[in-house]
Structure 1
Amino acid sequence: MSRQLIQQLNFWVAEHPSIVHFRWSPTESWAATWWFLMTSIAAYIGISSAVHILLRVVGRVKPVALGPVPALHSLAMSLLSATIFAGMLSSSVAEIRDTRWFWQRNKTPFQWLLCFPLGTRPSGRVFFWSYVFYLSRFLHILRTLFVLLRRPGNFPLFQLINHAALICMSFLWLEFSQSFQVLAILSMSMVFALVYGYRFGVEMGLGRSDFPFVMLCQIALVVTNSAWHMGVLVLHFWKGGCNGMGAWLFNTVLNSFVLLFLLNSYVTRCLTHTHRDHQSL
């Protein structure tokens, strides 16, 4: 019974015809155009800024009661991220099984995960889950609205930039069949599943909101993605080229800015806690 269940689950996440025959295309995939990307990011920044300005104009200083909405959002993000992780993992195994016969003899599965061959097209199983990850970013950005309403006096600039960068990067992964996106999505979906599961627990009163779990996960994710970036660069020059290196360079620049903002946020938080500790002595 358990084996049949596993086979059925594997069919729905890796062998379903819609997944196997997926193709990223502006005519076949929703939200697959540059116009939609630019418009959605501009709308996200504009709406977030408008909400912040409106709260300041009306003089709102107390948090807006949101009820169970943030908890439900965290639960949905955790479950969706876990599904993406399982789907991408199963699809990667299936793709390696089906395509390994025409690889070079000295190419390993890990090298394929890091470095797509030149000429790779955005179609098939792994790109289906890359597309789902891209779409999930639009559910992800709702958290910015929650932060704005819960902390009317603060503008979450780092979160705004980080979320916009994730939307842009996930679009570029698909548009240019960028190498290393499989490992990046596996890393991020696992971290998102853990982080939003933790946030759901905090919302339900099952955890400590002051425990730096989210910050530790962010640091681990930055370190992991930096390793994937370096691995792609090494294989690009060692193995004769990886697909989507132009998009890789742009993503590297975006990740560098996000890392700088993260380090600045971390240092500022540490200095704030240190100042409070000195005041309490």
Structure 2
Amino acid sequence: MLSGLDLEYWLVNHPTIRNFSWRPGKTLGSSPHFLFFTILSYLFSTFILPHRIISSSISPQLIKTISAIHNIFLLLLSFIMALGCLLSTFHHAPHLHWIICFPPHTKPTGPLFFWAYIFYLSKILEFADTLLIILTNSVQRLTFLHVYHHSTVVIMCYIWLQTSQTLFPAVLVTNASVHVLMYAYYLSCALGVRPRWKKLVTNVQILQFYSSFVVLGVMLYYHFTGSGCSGVWGWTFNVAFYLSLLLLFLDFHKKSYGASSINKNKLAVKSSKPFFSLQENH
């Protein structure tokens, strides 16, 4: 078992973490060109590649195994990122005000920005979520919400680092914690166990957006009543992004868990069992 001091070393004070520095154009993934081509490649592979040829060449059992490994890895990574960022905040925040509002001209260095960088890279890794949907032929799960979320969240994380954006630690810890729950659900599905708390995952995702707006409001107060906060123009992008995601998730919640949707699903189960299985497939 790791002690508190061991955790502090491996997640906060390890030289690689403590000495991290985001250097535009030098750090891996730090150029606008990398960001552009990464998102373009994701969209191309999602909409252009011949999915049927790819999916038919891999056995369902192998896809299940890949899915389980993918979900275990992201579950553990999400937990480590949340814990690492939380511990880094406690150890490096000079005061509570600093957590809500980075001082102007804050440099993107140190443990907090290391975890922001890992989080940024993890969002690229999460593109594999879409690949797994394609491989299982679950086309109906390839929604606008899914593709929009995966492609745009990478931009948000890039802006965090590029602008030393205020508030990203709170968003990182919250989002990574939600993803622990989400990937635990997906892992259970990949292992053939269908949890009954699917709706909880969506509800928690929606709750994180509501809480984000509350904290963003507090940040604005500090920004306009003090000397300002770092990365405010990046914050404006986040507001638009969070609002769009909130509206899309609320629409998804209504369609998935509304009365008409429940009745439709019951009818689908009675009339077509294979259709139901496809709908519920990870």
Tell me if both proteins adopt one fold, taking TM over 0.5 as the criterion.
yes
Contact 2:51 2:135 in 1 (8 A): no
Aligned residue identity for 1:149:
L
Which whole-Å CA distance do the structure 2 matches of 1:130 and 1:23 have between them?
Answer: 11
Would you say 1:212 and 2:199 are equivalent positions? yes
- 1:42 aligns with one of 15, 40, 46: 40
Amino acid at match of 2:175: M
Query: Aligned pair in 2 of structure 1 residues 41, 149: CA closer, same or farther (>3 Å)?
Result: same
The residue that corresponds to 2:65 in the other structure is: 68
Where does residue 112 of structure 2 map in the other structure? 126
Report what 1:169 is aligned to.
Answer: 156
Candidates 80, 84, 89, aligned match of 1:87? 84
The residue that corresponds to 1:12 in the other structure is: 10
Q: CA distance change for structure 1 residues 153 and 78 in 2, over 3 Å: closer, same or farther?
A: closer
Pair 1:78-2:78 in alignment: no
Match of 2:105, as an amino acid?
A: G
**2:242 alignment partner, one of 239, 245, 255:** 255
- 2:178 corresponds in structure 1 to 191
> Which letter maps to 2:92?
E
Identity of aligned residues (%): 25
* 1:194–1:227 Cα change, 3 Å: same
* Whole-Å separation in 1 of the counterparts to 2:46 and 2:161: 26
| Runs of 4+ that moved beyond 6 A | none
Could you tell me whether the CA contact under 8 Å between 1:202 and 1:209 is conserved in 2? no
Aligned residue number for residue 31 of structure 1: 29
AA of the residue aligned to 2:118? V
Amino acid at match of 2:136: R
Q: Is residue 24–residue 162 contact of structure 2 (8 Å, CA) maintained in 1?
A: no
Q: Is the 8 A contact 1:148 1:156 kept in 2?
A: no
2: CA distance, partners of 1:159 / 1:153: 11
Q: TM-score, normalised by structure 1?
A: 0.85
3-state SS, counterpart of residue 198 of structure 2: coil
**C-alpha deviation, 1:206, in angstroms:** 4.0
RMSD over aligned CA atoms reads 2.4
Contact 2:23 2:30 in 1 (8 A): yes
Output the CA distance in 1 between the equivalents of 2:64 and 2:104: 50
